[in-house]
Structure 1
């Protein structure tokens, strides 16, 4: 087994220098070129850190706890876990994931993770919301994912919901739409409020009248389809910004019933980049991709930075659709979501 002493001897450096680099504590202490050389030599010689020795030396286990509310069991946000796992692996951590149903089960899961000695927690929610961190999670490093701390204390990351509305509406405007409708959500979510605010702002900036009659909130049933059909008949929109890809289906169905073709007669933009809906609707749906992977990666990087009390270099992270905000605040950190162009915009570009 290769030791730090052997690496130091081969390079003619001190063991302490090797230790700083291999424990990711070299920022500002070891010249980058030398740190790179140490890492390359360690990899070439097959160096493997001893996690037990490290935990005894640092009082850290190298374990992170991921507490989710339905995130672990939904295809919508599985990318959060993948991004978090990739970032944990890059920093030498292992992530333990639990999916809790209700506060009582969640408290039991947190207690179990504490018995394993996790160094910190990710606390993930389905749908962006303001969340109060429960007392049983306090006292440990914690980062919220797709949520905002109600007390404004803990770091958090979320999609930039406002810019989703701005970008989607601007895409419709560039496609030539003049009467742009918003098919919203009935639930009082941050996403609903901010996306509709971005929609209004984009219309205002373009000099297009903002009409309450062009904005509706629908659920996910037959009544929703009837509401969208009524909007078609009463207001005759030529562009539709939909709260999500699922609601865009009502627009496609209503258009087909009226002999209209999406991408030729009307333009449509959704949100989610749903792997089934956005790819299988005909024509394919232009949509804003939510940054699930990016949120998971950023959250772990921020958590590890807080645990180690040092800067985490994210220059080597995998290529992603959305760029990541800097670590260290302000919070909530907001990720600008990319719009994926397909065929649902009149005269528009496609990916």
Structure 2
């Protein structure tokens, strides 16, 4: 097994310097060029941090607890866990995931993670919602993933409240804005929004972005071109009425699942998506991406990026210093800085496929 002493001998620095670098405590203490050289030599020699020894020195276990609701059982959102695990591994931490689905008691799962000595917690929701941080996590390092703290910090100025918990979420406004601008740029004149009838952050943000994009090109948003639906028969009927009464030539859909209703209505009328009308969805959901024909142009939600940012942010809170971002992965969407305003918003990427007609 490679030791710090061997790395010190190879690099010509002290063992204490190697220890600072290997434990990510070198910032402001070790010159960046020296730290970079130490890491390069450690990687070449195959050095691995001993978690047990590290925990004895620092009184930390280097374990992060990931508490999820639906996330662990949702295939495409599993990217959150993958992103968090990637960041944890990079900085010498291990991720333990528990799910509160299926009748599992949340307090019991949090208690189990505490027994393992988790240094901090990621608390993840599905579909970007406002949430209350569990009381069992009060006064512990916590970062919310795809969720926003109900405490917005408004009472902080008068000393009666506390700062909101750090969180990361998709930039919902720009999802709506970018999708609608893509349809405008494709020459669509009557752009409909097939939204969600649930009261959600995503719905409000995407609808606002849709309206703003129209206004920015001098078009007045028309409420007759907006239908907010849930699913199944009523949703299909609402989109069908939209086709017959308003005759849109472009559709921005709240998600890829709702885009299916547009495809179905177009097919029943002998219309071809990508030629007679254009459609943009949200999710880049694998099932719809592999099923719909022509393939659906969509905006990909940044599940990996959210998980990665959240874990990196949590580690920075635990260790009390900024992290070296030199080795952050290349991602579909840009990962925001760790000091981004709360909530940190990730500008999602539009994935061009075949459902928007060529201009």
TM-score range, shorter chain: over 0.9
Asked if the contact 1:178–1:208 (Cα under 8 Å) also holds between the matched residues in 2, the reply is no
Q: Scaled by the length of structure 2, what TM-score is found?
A: 0.94
In 1, the alpha carbon distance for the partners of 2:46 and 2:75 equals: 37
In 2, the alpha carbon distance for the partners of 1:341 and 1:240 equals: 15
Per-residue deviation, residues 222-262 of structure 1 (Å, max 9, x unmatched): 11111101000100100000000000010011011111111
Corresponding residue number in structure 2 for 1:130: 130
Number of matched residues?
348
Match of 1:338 among 319, 329, 349: 349
In 2, the alpha carbon distance for the partners of 1:209 and 1:256 equals: 29
In 1, the alpha carbon distance for the partners of 2:216 and 2:40 equals: 52
Corresponding residue number in structure 2 for 1:164: 175
Corresponding residue number in structure 2 for 1:144: 144
**Residue segments in structure 2 that go unaligned for 5+ positions in a row:** 153-163
In 2, the alpha carbon distance for the partners of 1:324 and 1:130 equals: 21
Q: For residue 208 of structure 1, give the secondary structure of its aligned residue in structure 2.
A: coil
CA-CA distance at 1:207 after TM superposition:
1.3
Asked if the contact 1:325–1:333 (Cα under 8 Å) also holds between the matched residues in 2, the reply is yes
Q: 1:132 to 1:102 in 2, by over 3 A?
A: farther
Per-residue deviation, residues 143-197 of structure 1 (Å, max 9, x unmatched): 0000011113210000000000000000000010010000000110100011000
The yes-or-no answer on 1:295 pairing with 2:306 is yes
**Residue segments in structure 1 that go unaligned for 5+ positions in a row:** none
Pairs within 5 Å for 1:293-332: 293-332=304-343
Corresponding residue number in structure 1 for 2:100: 100
Pairs within 5 Å for 1:1-351: 1-101=1-101, 105-152=105-152, 153-347=164-358
In 1, the alpha carbon distance for the partners of 2:263 and 2:326 equals: 41
Q: Scaled by the length of structure 1, what TM-score is found?
A: 0.97
Asked if the contact 1:279–1:285 (Cα under 8 Å) also holds between the matched residues in 2, the reply is no
**Could you say what the CA RMSD is over the residues aligned between the two structures, in angstroms?**
1.3
